[in-house]
């Protein structure tokens, strides 16, 4: 067995990457297949994800669009009560920030709306593979609407009241499963997590062992820590034995909350602020505070007006 400390990583590199690279990097965490990434792997991976309707992966990339349209067209969009879109008026433009999943599903539900068609047509012209099986060519209602994409620098330069809604940021946590059970309750977020259903920890890429998170509750070398360590060692032996005749999804039923897992949490700055208000207080779970307090401090350095 291996014991590691919890940690987090703000995914700045993926913010600067293309949509397809971002989606592959996030999607492969579920299977821990990052070793298969090369310069040609992203597009086939994402096409397959889109084809099979793995929508949780399609949530891991957002675009912010600046749109010039009529008041009637804007009101017609709002009348749809679109889910998971963040919409603001800023000067002469309408700002819309949306994930690829939300755009796909909105088009399937309301593709005859002129503004919906214009947004999706703009995206299809640049990333058609993300809308295969969804885009039907449109009906031309959005031709009088102007759409452009804001780059990351423009989004980071938005006024405070806008940036908190439109700036999304992903963080990869290495932590125990007790922490992730709580994190996923923040429903406005998108999540992708290392899957014990698919990961077989007897494989070479896992060094044929189970990894556990060091518990902050017990001092290393104490009687309690020794008991915890023995329990993990015994569990690992049972798990590896079960894998000889069982699938990973069957063998995982013996694995405890102390198991190491990786999870990507992706949401806007407004939701990160809400998370920190709940998960850094003295009442929060100690293992959660262990990763959230230093993350909140880092976020405050980057966006002091928001945090």
Comparing CA positions, the residue from 177, 215, 174 lying closest to residue 196 is 177
Strand-pair partners of 11: none
From the candidates 187, 279, 289, 302, give the one annotated as an active-site residue: 279
Helices (H), the chain: 12-15, 19-27, 42-51, 55-58, 71-79, 100-110, 114-127, 152-156, 160-166, 177-183, 223-242, 248-251, 269-279, 286-302
Q: Using CA atoms, how far apart are residues 282 and 10, in angstroms rounded to an integer?
A: 24
Helix, strand, coil abundance in the chain, percent, nearest 5 = 50, 20, 35
Q: Do 153 and 234 contact (CB within 8 A), yes or no?
A: no
Does the annotation mark 279 as catalytic? yes
Strands 211-213 and 2-4 turn out to be: parallel
Q: 53 by DSSP, 3-state: which? A: coil
Residue holding tokens 């015994």? 234
The residues carrying an active-site annotation are 279
């Amino acid at each position: 067995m291996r014991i590691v400390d919890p940690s987090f990583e703000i995914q700045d590199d993926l913010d600067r990457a293309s949509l397809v690279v971002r989606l592959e990097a996030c999607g492969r965490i579920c299977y821990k297949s990052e070793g298969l990434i090369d310069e040609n792997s992203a597009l086939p991976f994402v096409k397959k994800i889109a084809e099979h309707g793995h929508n949780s992966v399609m949530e891991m990339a957002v675009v912010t669009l600046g749109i010039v349209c009529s008041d009637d067209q804007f009101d017609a969009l709002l009348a749809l009560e679109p889910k998971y879109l963040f919409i603001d008026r800023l000067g002469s433009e309408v700002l819309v920030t949306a994930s690829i999943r939300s755009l796909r599903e909105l088009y399937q539900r309301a593709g005859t709306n002129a503004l919906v068609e214009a947004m999706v047509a703009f995206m299809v012209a640049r990333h058609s593979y993300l809308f295969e099986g969804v885009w039907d060519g449109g009906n031309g209602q959005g031709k009088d609407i102007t759409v452009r994409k804001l780059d990351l620098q423009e989004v980071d330069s938005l006024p405070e009241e806008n940036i908190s809604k439109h700036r999304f940021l992903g963080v990869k946590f290495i932590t125990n499963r007790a922490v992730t059970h709580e994190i996923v309750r923040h429903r406005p977020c998108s999540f992708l997590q290392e899957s014990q259903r698919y990961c077989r920890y007897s494989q070479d890429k896992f060094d044929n062992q189970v990894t556990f998170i060091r518990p902050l509750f017990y001092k290393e070398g104490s009687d309690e820590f020794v008991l915890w360590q023995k329990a993990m060692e015994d569990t690992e032996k049972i798990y590896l034995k079960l894998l000889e005749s069982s699938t990973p999804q069957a063998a995982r039923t013996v694995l405890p909350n102390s198991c190491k897992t990786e999870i990507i949490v992706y949401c806007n700055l407004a939701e990160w602020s809400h998370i920190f208000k709940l998960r850094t207080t003295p009442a929060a779970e100690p293992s959660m505070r262990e990763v959230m307090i230093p993350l909140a401090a880092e976020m405050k350095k980057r966006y002091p007006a928001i945090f």
